[in-house]
Structure 1
Amino acid sequence: MSTSAATAPPTTAGTLWTPFTYSLFRAIWLASVVSNIGTWMQNVAGVWLVTMLTTSALVVALMQTATSLPAFLLSMPAGAMADLIDRRRLLLFTQGFMAVVAFLLGTLTLMDQISALGVLAFTFLLGIGGAINAPVWQTVTTELVPRPILPFAITLNGVSNNIARAVGPAVGGVIIAYYSPGWVFVLNGLSFLGTFVVVYSWRRSEETASGPAENFTGALRAGLRYVQYSPAIYAVLFRTFAFAFGASAMWGLLSVVVARKLGLSSGTYGVLLSWLGAGAVTGALLMGRAGHLLNFNQRVLLGTLVFVGTNLCLGLVTVVYWLYPVMFVSGIAWLMVMTSFSTTVQLHVPKWVQARVVSMYMLVFQAGLSLGSIVWGELADHTSLEVALLATAGWMLLSMLLAIPFPMRSGEGLDLSPAEHWPDPTVQGGPIDPDDGPVVVMIEYEVAAADLQAFRQAAARLTRLRLRDGSLRAGVYTDVANPSRITEFFYVATWGEHQRQHHRFTREDQAVEAQVRQFHTGPAGPRVTHFLAFPKMPNVEAPTPLETLDGQQ
């Protein structure tokens, strides 16, 4: 199979179907459809089996906990691993691990040697595999298609999930009814095995290390720091949480609306979910044809407005037939909003930190869904179902105001490839240990008095980039005796971390740096100086006592 998207046929104007022209994406997408169907079959079979094995409602309810808890515990560590470890090998591990777990569960079930607690334990293990697998599976798409085609590929990934949501429970229910839940677990194991084979055939290009390797803890900190100093990313996270918190009411209360308000059976509930899935697939087709008419920010606003109407209809409509088109339109809105969030995140993040940021996005999304389900469920219990749904509609209407302080920015034209333009500093006295530090870098500029205000604004953007890429402190200082002489500084914990800064700087960042340097008026370029703490000096930010310094002289 092709090793990269660069070897695939060239494209000029992308459509929804363009990603399928890349053979590796096509194979992995088909494998993901099969695997996702197996996962939904597994969910149905697992809950049904536990229901048959115990009379405890708590144990049945813990099935959802066993599925979701690993995502809360492992999402961010999994993102760090996906950035530090070869993604192909990590996918092979997770798919193989989940296949073994599913086969063992299926075998024990067919032999009548499984208990309700045993199903819970195996479900938790599958949840661990899924939590580790999810960030790398999300980010691997960027390696399969060129950047201009990425929005279409992410949309198709959403289609894969919704096809599985529509097909998996139905197929699983038929197998349970006529055979045994054990066979569902075995088929799920086979679906993981199929994905393993496809990923194994991917001959991914070996990546050369750039700079000293990150350790696990440092990688986690770097991911959090990147989000903290990236307005485009935390804007998406705020909007994602607000949307998921409100949209959770539809997912959490739909079954209650069907059973208690309308007095209908679970079959009607399944039909409504099918309309939702059909709407999502239709939404993908519409996005492929007319997606260029709306930017990501407008898509999220439109989708949120649709969900305002969805919750109003669920709270007020008393005839189920009116809810079918409501669910269909809601499916379109759901896919439109979720693909907009996911695409915006991935288009704004360079490869070195991609999985970590995606894992944080997934964690925020799951937190919004989980917390929202609790809040709206409690409100429905203490007031009424209608009040809870109307309150949710009000929340989503207010959440649209977040577009003012947190607008979603287009990232399609960004060049996030490494700039690799900083020369290594001249080092006297032999190589420096990567763990030595701290390091202070100072850059001196001469700026005309008339340009000081414009320079200050440009330098503020550059300071944010220094902090985002690893600096603990950064700033710009003016010489009080000569205001035209300005020094930029940034403080880094170790020499190795500063070397990583060199490789994290992108071509987009280089453009920001160029805006700052254009104000320099000196005969030569800005003077760059690197300062390293004396060996064996305390590597702390607190002032060192004078007597300690005297003792070292």
Structure 2
Amino acid sequence: MTKPSTNPTSARQSQSADDSHKLTSAWSPLRVQIFRALWIASIASYIGTWMQDVGESWLMTSLTTSPVLVALIETAGNLPVVLLALPAGALADVVDRRRLLLIMQSWMCVTAGAMGLLAVMGQMTPSRLLLLSFVLGVGAAMSNPVWQAITPELVPASDLPAALALSSVGINIARAIGPALGGLIIGASGPWAAFFLNAASFSGVVIVIYRWRPAPRKSALPPEDIVGAMRAGTRYIRHSPALQTVLIRSGAFVVFASALWALLPQQARRGLGLGSLGYGSLLGCIGLGAVIGAWLLPRTRARLSMNNVVAVATVAFALTTISLAYVRSFGVLAIALALGGVAWIGVLSSLNVSAQTITPSWVRARVMAVYLLVFFGGLAGGSALWGFAAARVGVSAALLFAAVGLIIGLVATWRYRLVGEENLSLTPSMHWPEPIVLIDPQPDEGPAITYVEYKIDPKSADEFLQAMTEMRRIRRRDGAIRWTLLRDTADPRRYIETFVTQSWVEHLRQHERVTAEDREVEERAQSFHVAAGPPRVTHLIAEQLPK
């Protein structure tokens, strides 16, 4: 399993008096056998991943003194997410998720084993280490969207918030244990031992996933092709301002926050004179802080809005980055890094919860893939940037600049407000009637055009047009490639909404994508319709002329 960068947690509590009840119910997903088995196996695998992370960074500091090459370890591991996020998300929404996970977990097991073999034989070089880190990252890039998407398939809907919270707890338990354990093992045996143990840690996840038999995803429609699925995912984000906000805030944070992760091994070894155990212990302090942060978050969200949590946590992470730059006491720095761990999970969990709660299931893997693209892309690019900056101006100065950048980024993006604290009904409403079809169009025939005819009192025209602005966004988000609202010059009360989909099957998919939230918007627009009966709907499909 790859190092995760997102940590979903339970939704904000409205009353602090409910905390004890929420903490009790937070363990309820563990009653589900498959979730419990996968949760335990994933913790073991996350520990292996953090050991691998320590081993890679520490081995690179042994192979070279260049801060650029040390920082590029983070880049090599995260770059595949930048390159593969969109196809990975499309695959996760289209193919058998269980089979995809089995293939990718096996891929990473073999890669980690190869790294261990080269290291123990003394054949590892900086270029080989970067290449194999990239290959390992490929498996991570293909797996991450699936992990984001399968949790709702493992537990009942009522247990989903608690399951997301437990996933966060598991990740941060591993973050607290893995680095220090990795440092201890590396100090006793060498980085090769951490690589081999990481390879072995994938086996538990493979066994649990192999035994899992998820319910098949039901749809009467043919599956989307990969290119079409990628287009649908990017189109959804393009017409979802709330998701764009998550991506903007994520990018503004992670580009500057990456400096701490990229330069920590260099500062630990060169600045503080620590060994591998000391470096692993510092990473473990961040993990311990993140565990504490996960425990504090429900109480914090009862008092602060999601946006205020992100603001406070960003300032705290900036202070931690400054501490890494100038503090030379191990104990003081350990406390500062623990505070950074609390801040890290405060920001990331807020961003992740916002993205998850405003995205319906049919496109969730694709949306989360783009979120991971922004996040890991920021880590990869930021790590390289701060590595080069450290080579030019020094590690401490680079960390100071990054801390200032965190504050500037927070101020610059403050007008983009995160949403997702309220419960949205994103289940398919399935309220659209089946189209009346007397011909037999093929699924890929098109384009298909839908007309919706309204009769509107001119006195209500302005309000109707305002309601249709939101309708346009929903139609285009769910598959329309063009949308127009027309007014009849001969009858000022008559409006015709037209939207075009690329094919007949794409229009049928719109029927499955409309959510209960969308239905409320649609009903508001239709409330201005004054004719007897609902608005008339007509479906047209392009006719092929003889050659």
TM-score in terms of structure 2 length: 0.86
Is the CA contact 2:183–2:280 (under 8 Å) kept in the aligned structure 1? no
Q: Which deviates further from its counterpart, 197-206 or 46-55?
A: 46-55
> Which residue in 1 is equivalent to 2:418?
408
Any idea what the Cα deviations from partners look like across 1:249-291, whole Å, max 9, x if unmatched? 2223344555566666665544432222111111111124554
Question: Does structure 1 residue 274 correspond to structure 2 residue 284?
Answer: yes
Query: Alpha carbons of 1:155 and 1:233: their partners in 2 closer, same or farther (altered >3 Å)?
Result: same
The residue type equivalent to 1:330 in the other structure is: G
Question: Does structure 1 residue 337 correspond to structure 2 residue 350?
Answer: no
RMSD of aligned C-alpha atoms? 3.1
Q: Which deviates further from its counterpart, 363-372 or 313-322?
A: 313-322
> Which residue in 1 is equivalent to 2:310?
300
Q: Structure 2 CA distance, aligned partners of 1:380 and 1:388?
A: 5
Q: Structure 2 CA distance, aligned partners of 1:476 and 1:185?
A: 60
Q: Once the 2 structures are TM-superposed, how far is the Cα of residue 77 of structure 1 from its aligned partner? A: 0.9
Query: Alpha carbons of 1:305 and 1:180: their partners in 2 closer, same or farther (altered >3 Å)?
Result: closer
Is the CA contact 1:28–1:198 (under 8 Å) kept in the aligned structure 2? yes
Alignment match of 2:228 (pick from 218, 231, 236): 218
> Which residue in 2 is equivalent to 1:448?
457
Q: Once the 2 structures are TM-superposed, how far is the Cα of residue 206 of structure 1 from its aligned partner? A: 1.6
Alignment match of 1:482 (pick from 482, 491, 494): 491
Any residues of structure 2 matched to 1:176-215 within 5 Å, and which? 176-179=186-189, 182-215=192-225
> Which residue in 1 is equivalent to 2:106?
96
Alignment match of 2:256 (pick from 246, 250, 269): 246
The residue type equivalent to 2:448 in the other structure is: V
Any idea what the Cα deviations from partners look like across 1:101-137, whole Å, max 9, x if unmatched? 4445556766x49554666555443322221111101
The residue type equivalent to 2:433 in the other structure is: P
> Which residue in 1 is equivalent to 2:10?
none
Any idea what the Cα deviations from partners look like across 1:41-72, whole Å, max 9, x if unmatched? 23344566677789999887765554233222
Q: Once the 2 structures are TM-superposed, how far is the Cα of residue 174 of structure 1 from its aligned partner? A: 3.9
Classify the secondary structure of the residue corresponding to 2:496: strand
> Which residue in 2 is equivalent to 1:433?
442
Q: Structure 1 CA distance, aligned partners of 2:393 and 2:63?
A: 34
Any residues of structure 2 matched to 1:278-357 within 5 Å, and which? 278-315=288-325, 317=327, 319-357=329-367
The residue type equivalent to 2:47 in the other structure is: I
Stretches of structure 1 that go unaligned for 5 or more consecutive residues are 1-11, 538-551
Is the CA contact 1:154–1:339 (under 8 Å) kept in the aligned structure 2? no
> Which residue in 2 is equivalent to 1:33?
43
Any residues of structure 2 matched to 1:461-500 within 5 Å, and which? 461-500=470-509
> Which residue in 2 is equivalent to 1:544?
none
Is the CA contact 2:81–2:377 (under 8 Å) kept in the aligned structure 1? no
Alignment match of 1:169 (pick from 170, 175, 179): 179
> Which residue in 2 is equivalent to 1:43?
53
> Which residue in 1 is equivalent to 2:4?
none
Query: Alpha carbons of 1:327 and 1:184: their partners in 2 closer, same or farther (altered >3 Å)?
Result: closer
Any residues of structure 2 matched to 1:135-146 within 5 Å, and which? 135-146=145-156
> Which residue in 2 is equivalent to 1:512?
521
Q: Once the 2 structures are TM-superposed, how far is the Cα of residue 460 of structure 1 from its aligned partner? A: 0.6
Q: Structure 2 CA distance, aligned partners of 1:60 and 1:340?
A: 30
Is the CA contact 1:14–1:149 (under 8 Å) kept in the aligned structure 2? no
Classify the secondary structure of the residue corresponding to 2:453: strand
Is the CA contact 2:74–2:383 (under 8 Å) kept in the aligned structure 1? no
- Which one scores higher on RCO, CA 8 angstroms, separation ≥ 6? 2
Q: Structure 2 CA distance, aligned partners of 1:389 and 1:109?
A: 31
Any residues of structure 2 matched to 1:120-131 within 5 Å, and which? 122-131=132-141
Stretches of structure 2 that go unaligned for 5 or more consecutive residues are 1-19
TM-score in terms of structure 1 length: 0.85
Any idea what the Cα deviations from partners look like across 1:475-532, whole Å, max 9, x if unmatched? 2222233322111111111111111111111111111111111110001211111121
The residue type equivalent to 2:244 in the other structure is: Y
Q: Once the 2 structures are TM-superposed, how far is the Cα of residue 232 of structure 1 from its aligned partner? A: 1.2
Alignment match of 1:79 (pick from 86, 89, 92): 89
Query: Alpha carbons of 1:348 and 1:373: their partners in 2 closer, same or farther (altered >3 Å)?
Result: same
The residue type equivalent to 1:82 in the other structure is: A
Query: Alpha carbons of 1:394 and 1:201: their partners in 2 closer, same or farther (altered >3 Å)?
Result: same
Is the CA contact 2:172–2:291 (under 8 Å) kept in the aligned structure 1? yes
Is the CA contact 2:71–2:384 (under 8 Å) kept in the aligned structure 1? no
Is the CA contact 2:233–2:363 (under 8 Å) kept in the aligned structure 1? yes
> Which residue in 2 is equivalent to 1:17?
27
Any idea what the Cα deviations from partners look like across 1:441-464, whole Å, max 9, x if unmatched? 111101112211111111110110
Q: Structure 1 CA distance, aligned partners of 2:303 and 2:36?
A: 27
> Which residue in 2 is equivalent to 1:156?
166
The residue type equivalent to 1:505 in the other structure is: V
Q: Structure 2 CA distance, aligned partners of 1:267 and 1:113?
A: 21
The residue type equivalent to 2:22 in the other structure is: G
Q: Structure 2 CA distance, aligned partners of 1:128 and 1:435?
A: 33
The residue type equivalent to 2:51 in the other structure is: M
Question: Does structure 1 residue 422 correspond to structure 2 residue 432?
Answer: yes
Is the CA contact 1:212–1:500 (under 8 Å) kept in the aligned structure 2? no
Q: Which deviates further from its counterpart, 257-266 or 389-398?
A: 257-266
The residue type equivalent to 1:223 in the other structure is: G
Identity in percent:
42
Query: Alpha carbons of 1:100 and 1:286: their partners in 2 closer, same or farther (altered >3 Å)?
Result: same
Q: Structure 1 CA distance, aligned partners of 2:390 and 2:118?
A: 40
Query: Alpha carbons of 1:146 and 1:305: their partners in 2 closer, same or farther (altered >3 Å)?
Result: farther
Q: Structure 2 CA distance, aligned partners of 1:335 and 1:83?
A: 27
Q: Structure 2 CA distance, aligned partners of 1:399 and 1:55?
A: 31
The residue type equivalent to 2:139 in the other structure is: G
Any residues of structure 2 matched to 1:333-412 within 5 Å, and which? 333-383=343-393, 385=395, 387-401=397-411, 404-410=414-420, 412=422
> Which residue in 2 is equivalent to 1:8?
none
The residue type equivalent to 1:451 in the other structure is: S
